[in-house]
Every structure is written in C-alpha cells, then in structure tokens.
C-alpha cells in the first residue's frame, strides 16, 4: 500500500505503473488461457500487483479484458471481416482462446449495465463499423443493417463452435471453415431481391 505521505506525483506514477503491469499481465494470460479460464487473482500475481486494483483502475475483469484486447491489437481500426487475413486471424485466435465477453454481448440478453455497454461498444467498433464502411463504399443498401447481420452471423458461428452444440462445426479446422465463412459473409454484399427487381424494371 502506498504511504499516505508519498507525494501526489509519485502516487500517480505508481498507479500508472500498476495499471501498465496489470494490462500486460492480462494480455499474456488472456492470450494463453482465454477470458473464462483467467482469474483476476492470476492477473494480479503475474503483475505483482494487488488484484483488488483491477476493480479500482478498470472496473472489473471484463473491462480489463477489453483494454487488453485494444492494447494487443493497437488503436488502428481493424480490417473488416471480408478481409481474408483478418478473418483467418480471428478464427485462429478464437479457436485457441475461446470467445470473450463481447461475443457473449452480441447474442445474449444483458442488463444494459456499464460492463455490457462497454462489451457491445467494443463489438461494434471492431466488427460492425468496418463492415458498415465497406458496404457503404460499395453501394450496398442499408449498410448498417447488413453489417450488423454479418457480425451477428459471425458471432453466432464462433459461439456455436465454442459451445459444441454442432459437432462438425466445432470440430472443423479453421482453414476449412474460412472459405465457407467468406461465402456467408460476402453474401451480405449481394443486392436484396427488391433492389434487384427495381434495377431490372428500370
């Protein structure tokens, strides 16, 4: 515990260092074990910091996870899910770690708490927004809806693979699944039947 007599500048420096150590430990442990199998106690032990500080500095394990993901991936907006390298990277990473809380937030009803809102915001920023921008640039109608539909389909596939409800889907290799997912997601770019009919009639 910090000595009450420690100057404020030193306390801020210690707090910043503790945050940095916790984020780095979280990046390593979440990468190795995934969200569900990593505990705050283990993060604190790896960081050499009191795990109670996770709640103080971040709000909880979920918020620390989201910070760790952003730290690992960087601040640059990611490529969209139609980018083959991006899709392959996500499939490989999620097959090893399992889905994190943002994927749960995509399909499960939540209490609209601050934690749930943060997870949803992360999902929108990392998956939905890049797709919406692509769909809009390529002239697809209702790009936001198409992007949300594609992201929901992807999240559903990831959760189904993790849950094991569908045996072949859970067992298939990521490289074999990749082209099938590409076809599924690319279909969101196809014009709707109404749009196609209007175009033909014109």
Instruction: Assign a CATH topology to domain 7-74.
Output: Arc Repressor Mutant, subunit A (1.10.10)
Q: Is the pLDDT of residue 196 over 50?
A: no
The pLDDT, as a whole number, for residue 191 is: 66
Higher pLDDT, 189 or 87: 87
* Domain residue limits, the chain: 7-74, 77-193
**Could you read off the pLDDT of 5-16 as tens digits, one per residue?**
555 565 566 889
Please, is 160 exposed, middle or buried when counting C-beta atoms within 10 Å of its C-beta (0-12, 13-18, 19+)?
A: middle
* Per-residue pLDDT at 150 exceeds 90: yes
Backbone angles phi, psi at 91, to 5 degrees: -60, -45
- How high does pLDDT run on average in the chain? 85
CA separation for the pair 41, 25 (Å, rounded): 11
Among 137-141, 143-147, 179-183, 187-191, the minimum mean pLDDT is found in 187-191
Write out pLDDT tens, residues 18-59: 999 999 999 999 888 888 889 999 999 999 999 999 999 999
Cα gap 176→167, rounded to integer Å: 15
Q: Higher-confidence residue: 91 or 32?
A: 91
The DSSP string of 100-140 is -HHHHHHHS-----HHHHHHHHHHIIIIIHHHHHHHHHTT-
pLDDT digits (tens, 9 = 90+) for 130-147: 999 999 999 999 999 999
Per-residue pLDDT, 200: 46
- Asked if residue 178 lies in contact with residue 81, where contact means CB atoms within 8 angstroms, the answer is no
Q: CA 155 to CA 42: how far, in whole Å?
A: 28
């Amino acid at each position: 515990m910090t000595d009450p007599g420690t100057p404020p500048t030193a306390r801020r420096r210690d707090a910043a260092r503790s945050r940095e150590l916790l984020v780095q430990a979280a990046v390593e442990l979440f990468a190795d074990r995934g969200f569900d199998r990593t505990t705050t106690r283990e993060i604190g032990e790896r960081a050499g910091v009191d795990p109670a500080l996770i709640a103080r500095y971040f709000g909880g394990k979920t918020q620390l996870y989201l910070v760790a993901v952003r730290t690992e991936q960087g601040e640059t907006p990611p490529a969209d899910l139609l980018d083959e390298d991006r899709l392959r990277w996500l499939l490989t990473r999620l097959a090893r770690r399992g889905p994190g809380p943002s994927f749960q937030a995509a399909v499960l009803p939540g209490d609209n708490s601050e934690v749930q809102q943060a997870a949803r915001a992360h999902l929108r920023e990392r998956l939905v927004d890049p797709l919406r921008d692509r769909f809009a640039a390529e002239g697809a109608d209702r790009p936001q809806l198409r992007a949300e539909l594609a992201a929901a389909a992807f999240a559903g596939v990831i959760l189904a693979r993790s849950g094991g409800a569908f045996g072949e889907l859970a067992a298939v290799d990521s490289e074999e699944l990749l082209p099938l997912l590409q076809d599924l997601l690319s279909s969101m770019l196809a014009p709707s039947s109404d749009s196609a009919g209007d175009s033909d009639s014109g």
